[in-house]
Structures are given as C-alpha cells and as structure tokens.
Amino acid sequence: MPGINSVVGYCLLLLFLLSIAACKQKDAIGQQGTLHVAVAANVQFAMQEIEQLFESETGIPVESIISSSGKLTAQIMEGAPFDIFLSADMKYGNTLYDKKMAIHPPLVYAYGALVAWTVKEDKDLKNLSKLLTDAREIDKIAIANPVNAPYGKQAINFFEKLGILDQVASRLVYGESIAQTNQYIHTGATDIGFTAKSVVLSPEMSGKGRWITLDPMLYEPIAQGVVITRHGEEKQSEASLRFIDFLFSDPVRNIFRKYGYEVPDSKPVLPY
Amino acid sequence: MDLFYQTFQLTLSLAFSATFILLILGLPIAYLLSRTQSGWKPLLEALISLPLVLPPTVLGFYLLLALSPNSMLGGFLAEQLGIKLIFSFEGLIAGSVIYSLPFMVQPIQSGFENLPGNLAEASYVLGKSKLTTLFKVLIPNIKPSIITAIVLSFAHTIGEFGVILMIGGNIPGETRVASIAIYDEVEAMNYAIANRYALVLIVFSFLILLLVYTFNKKYFRIKGR
C-alpha cells in the first residue's frame, strides 16, 4: 500500500526539483552581464584587486576562473564559456589563436619574475649557487613542471646559466603548476623552491619564510599574454574589450608592479 | 618511448606492491571487524571508510603535511629511521595503502560476515584451532570476496591520481605514474601521447576486470551448481 510516507516523500522530491529549477533561472538572469575571465594561477592575487577595481569602475561583474594555463587552454579549446584568458606565457594564447579560439595573438600584459623561496630558517639565500649544490644543506628543490609551466622552464634555464643543472637535477621535484609548487615550498616539504614573485608578495603568503629575487640576467622574465576568446567576442564583445583596455591602464599597471611584475612600456593596439 | 614503458612499469609495480601490502593488512582487519562485538567497531569502520569520502587531493594534501620533514611524523621518520615518504616510490605505496584500504577491507569483511556461523563452530567442535579454522575453513569459503577485494584495490591504485599528484612530485621513474603522465601530457597539449597512455590504461584495466569476472563466474557456477 502506498503509505502517507511515500506521498510526502514524493512531494518533497518535487519541491526539491522545483527549487533547483528556480535557482537555475535566477542564476541565468544574474549572470547575463557577467564577464568570465580565465586566470593563470600565478596572476590570481593581482587579479583579485583588478577585478574589484574593474567592477567598481564599470559596474560589470567579473567572475574569475583560476587554474593552470594548460588546463584553461584545453577547456577553452573545447568551448568553455570564458570571455578572456590571462595566461602565464605567450604559448597558450598563440595556440588558441592558431586554432581560431582566440580572436587575436596574445598581448603582453606583464612580465613575471622568478624568486627562490624557503621556509627553513637556516638557509643562506645570498649565495644561492653554493646553497643549491650542497646536498647536505638542500635536499629537494621544488619547481613547476618545466614542460608545461613557464616558471618551471625558466627555473631550469636559471640552473643552466649558473652551470649547476647536473648537480641539482636528481633533487628536483615538480609541481603540476605554480600553485602546487607553492604548496611544496610553503609546507616545508621541500627545502627550497622556485616560484613567481607575485606569490611571495601576495597578502596570503607575505611574511612566510624568506625569498630572494633572481638576477634577471640569468633567466628570461616571463612574458604573460592575454587574449579575448571567440566566446568573448561573440557574447561579451564590448565588456571584453573594455576589460582589455582597462588591463593596460595606469591603476592596473600599478597593481601588477605591486605584485612584483614588470609591465610593458606602452599600451598595445587593441584587437578591435 | 622509453619513458612510456618506464611509466607503465612504475604504475604496475606500485599497484602490485600496494595490493600485496593491503592484502596482508586488510585480511586480519576485516576478520577482526567481522568477529568483534566491541563498541569501537563503528568507529573503526568509519575511520577505514574515510578515504572513500575525502577528495583524493585533500587526502593527499594532508599526507603531504603529515609526511613533510617539518611535521612531527615526517621528521621522526626522516631523522630516526632515515625514511622519506614524500617524493618517493615508498611514499606512493604508503599513500595508496591508506587510500585503497576500504576497497580491500569492506569486501572481505562482508564475506566473513555472510558466512553461516555454524561453519566456524563445526570446525571448533572438531577440535581445530581458531587459526586453522581461519585459514583452512573460512578463507577458502570467501575466495570470491577476496578476489574482488584484490581486484578493486589493484584497479583503484592504478587509477589513483589526486594523492599521487600531491605527494609524488612527478619524478620520472620514481613517482610519475600513468595517471599523472596523462594529466601532464594534456597540460602540455600533447593530446596524442595522452591518448596513447589512456588507451593502454583502459585496455589493460578492462582485460584484468574481464579476467576476474570470468573467473568469478566459473567459480560460482561450480560452487552453486
């Protein structure tokens, strides 16, 4: 016999489904004007400020999606609804442009700097080359995966320029992105590691351990590019362009500087 | 291509080692859990099942914290015993054992619990010790459960990703297993190589499962008549 319980249960289920549908609809309305910005992990701290400033100046709500550039690129290629992509280097933006998923070649919005960072008290960062080659001082060294992450690639470049790659190679561990590399360093799982300057300058990480900026002659500062995606041009043409324009304005350039980036000298020609 | 084989060799040795340790560890745990009347039983069961609920990356993150040379446990292991469990193959085994423990314990435990109680009683009455009864009577009667447990643990370890990603450090030949390699190649936009890894992984896993289910079916047919 279908008892009173099953009737109540059925009604509850119905109510539940209806409420989901109602939420969905509300979301859809709320998000109509929202600009979706895909952001490489190293830029997330600066992006928090940029986002707020942009929202207060234009009234256009921004939603950022933070991940590694490789993942975001794969997602955009498969039609993810991101309007703008701030990548960690130029490679990913160029790939998207080649595949016609971005409407213009990437524009450099910042140059990232590399730092050596440790939470161990007794490490002498002044003499980095000596410290790194001394296996009794430093066991594991964390870098981002050099194949995917530009900051990892430049860390390798740095070791090569110093001529110590052979001595450190067996002690390297690879974070899948700059974010995981930060975890390895920050938790003390590795004795030292190489990451983006923007990370150690972020409010979340400042004061945790000690770091030193690497000599920019010993690696290539990382040119980071931004693109408007095809989705952005189709769905958010005006807002996307406004965001790009805003990205090269003086207040934003100052935010980037505050987080340890260098900024390009002049404003590029906008894509449209 | 060398890297390709190295990766699969590593993946398989991880899965075999972890499964072996899990069997040694899981069998007595499952047996004791199935026998005990203690009030602690639900607590233990909940603890063992926890890895089912926790997202693997979260589990991995806490393992990273726990095993880091900075922590009490990690520091003790490194300084007193010279064992380093992060960024090493041994560490992956330890992580996998924790992560796959419910997959080993639960099927075996329910196997034991579903055996008729008079089976063991008959053996005791005939003067057999508890240990003899366990190995000669009980375990042979729950073979399908044990095989299921072994296969689930093995397969779960092969497909493991989050924990390894967190505590492995992606070192080729040491901690770079197939699931990590696939992820990496996708990140690097080498979709063709990623597909190759994935294909081998799928075919291999499918064959193993097929083998086991075929075997199990035959076993039941003989037993069940």
Nearest to B64 among A74, A140, A187 (CB): A187
- As a whole number, the mean pLDDT across chain A is 89
Provide the H-helix boundaries in chain B: 2-35, 41-53, 56-67, 72-76, 89-114, 117-125, 130-132, 139-141, 143-158, 162-168, 178-187, 191-224
Q: How far is CA A174 from CA A146, A253, B139, in A?
A: 8, 31, 44
Best of B165, B174, B189 to disrupt the A interface (most A CBs within 10 Å) is B189
Nearest chain A residue (CA) to B65: A187
The reply to whether residue A73 touches residue B166, judged by beta carbons under 8 angstroms, is no
Nearest chain B residue (CA) to A70: B187
Nearest chain B residue (CA) to A146: B188
| Nearest chain B CA: its distance from A98 CA (Å) | 13
| Chains A–B, number of C-beta pairs less than 8 Å apart | 63
Least confident of A151-165, B33-47, B104-118, B202-216: B202-216
- pLDDT at B207 exceeding the cut of 80: yes
pLDDT (0 to 100) of residue A29: 38
User: Considering the entire predicted model, what is its pTM?
Assistant: 0.79
pLDDT (0 to 100) of residue A26: 45
Model pLDDT for residues A76-101, shown as the tens digit of each residue: 988 899 999 999 999 999 999 999 99
| Complete DSSP assignment for chain A | ---HHHHHHHHHHHHHHHHHHHHHHHHHHHTTTPEEEEEEGGGHHHHHHHHHHHHHHH---EEEEEE-HHHHHHHHHTT---SEEE-SSSHHHHHHHHTTSBSS--EEEEEE-EEEEE--TT--GGGHHHHHH-TTT---EEEE-TTT-HHHHHHHHHHHHHT-HHHHGGGEEEESSHHHHHHHHHTTSSSEEEEEHHHHTSTTTTTSSEEEEPPGGGS--EEEEEEEBHHHHHHSHHHHHHHHHHHTSHHHHHHHHHTT-B--SSPPPP--
Nearest chain A residue (CA) to B86: A189
Q: What angle do CA A41, B62, B168 make, to 5 degrees?
A: 70
Nearest chain A residue (CA) to B171: A173
Task: Map tokens 């009490």 to a residue.
Answer: B72
- pLDDT at A30 exceeding the cut of 50: no
Class of domain A33-111+222-258: alpha beta
Where exactly are the structural domains of chain A? 33-111+222-258, 114-218
Q: Which residues of B touch A189 (CB under 8 A)?
A: 64, 67-70, 86-87
Give CATH superfamily name and number for B2-224: MetI-like (1.10.3720.10)
| Nearest chain B CA: its distance from A150 CA (Å) | 11
pLDDT band at A28 (very low <50, low <70, confident <90, very high): very low
According to DSSP, residue B174 is labeled: T
What ipTM did this prediction achieve? 0.74
pLDDT band at A203 (very low <50, low <70, confident <90, very high): confident
Q: Which residues of A touch B67 (CB under 8 A)?
A: 189
| Nearest chain B CA: its distance from A3 CA (Å) | 32
- pLDDT at A14 exceeding the cut of 90: no
Most confident of A107-111, B199-203, B205-209: A107-111
| Nearest chain B CA: its distance from A120 CA (Å) | 9
Q: Which fold has domain A114-218?
A: D-Maltodextrin-Binding Protein; domain 2 (3.40.190)
Average pLDDT over residues A168-176: 94
Q: Which residues of A touch B170 (CB under 8 A)?
A: 145, 173-176
Average pLDDT over residues B57-64: 90
pLDDT (0 to 100) of residue A214: 95
Q: Which residues of A touch B64 (CB under 8 A)?
A: 183-184, 187, 189
Nearest chain A residue (CA) to B165: A176
Q: Which residues of A touch B70 (CB under 8 A)?
A: 119, 187-189
Q: Which residues of A touch B65 (CB under 8 A)?
A: 187
* A172-175: strand order across its sheet: A172-175, A141-144, A192-196, A114-118, A210-213
Nearest to B110, CA basis, from B157, B155, B148, B54: B148
Least confident of A130-139, B151-160, B179-188: B179-188
Q: Which positions ≥6 away from B175 have C-beta within 8 Å?
A: B10, B87, B88, B89, B91, B92, B164, B168, B169
Least confident of A5-9, A187-191, B26-30, B46-50: A5-9
Cβ pair B117, B178 in contact under 8 A: no
- Within 54-113 of B, beta carbons closer than 8 Å to A belong to 61, 64-65, 67-70, 86-87
Q: Which residues of A touch B188 (CB under 8 A)?
A: 70, 147-148
Q: Chain A residues contacting B, CB < 8 Å?
A: 68, 70-71, 73-74, 95, 119, 140, 142, 145, 147-148, 172-176, 180, 183-184, 187-190
Average pLDDT over residues A103-109: 97
Please indicate if any CB of chain A lies within 8 Å of the CB of B170.
yes
Residue B21 and residue B218: Cα distance in Å, rounded?
27
- pLDDT at A22 exceeding the cut of 80: no
Nearest chain A residue (CA) to B191: A74
The span from the first CA to the last CA of chain A, in angstroms, equals 68
pLDDT (0 to 100) of residue A102: 96
More confident residue, A29 or B34: B34
Residue B51 and residue A168: Cα distance in Å, rounded?
35
Least confident of A17-21, A63-67, A205-209, A234-238: A17-21
Average pLDDT over residues A7-31: 58
Average pLDDT over residues B144-171: 91
Best of B87, B163, B180 to disrupt the A interface (most A CBs within 10 Å) is B87
Task: Map tokens 């440790």 to a residue.
Answer: A118
The reply to whether residue A74 touches residue B186, judged by beta carbons under 8 angstroms, is yes
Model pLDDT for residues A204-242, shown as the tens digit of each residue: 888 899 999 999 999 999 999 999 999 999 999 999 999
Nearest chain A residue (CA) to B175: A173
The reply to whether residue A189 touches residue B68, judged by beta carbons under 8 angstroms, is yes
pLDDT band at A13 (very low <50, low <70, confident <90, very high): low
| Nearest chain A CA: its distance from B23 CA (Å) | 30
More confident residue, A180 or B187: A180
| Nearest chain B CA: its distance from A148 CA (Å) | 5
Average pLDDT over residues B98-110: 96
pLDDT (0 to 100) of residue B116: 93
Cβ pair A59, A213 in contact under 8 A: no
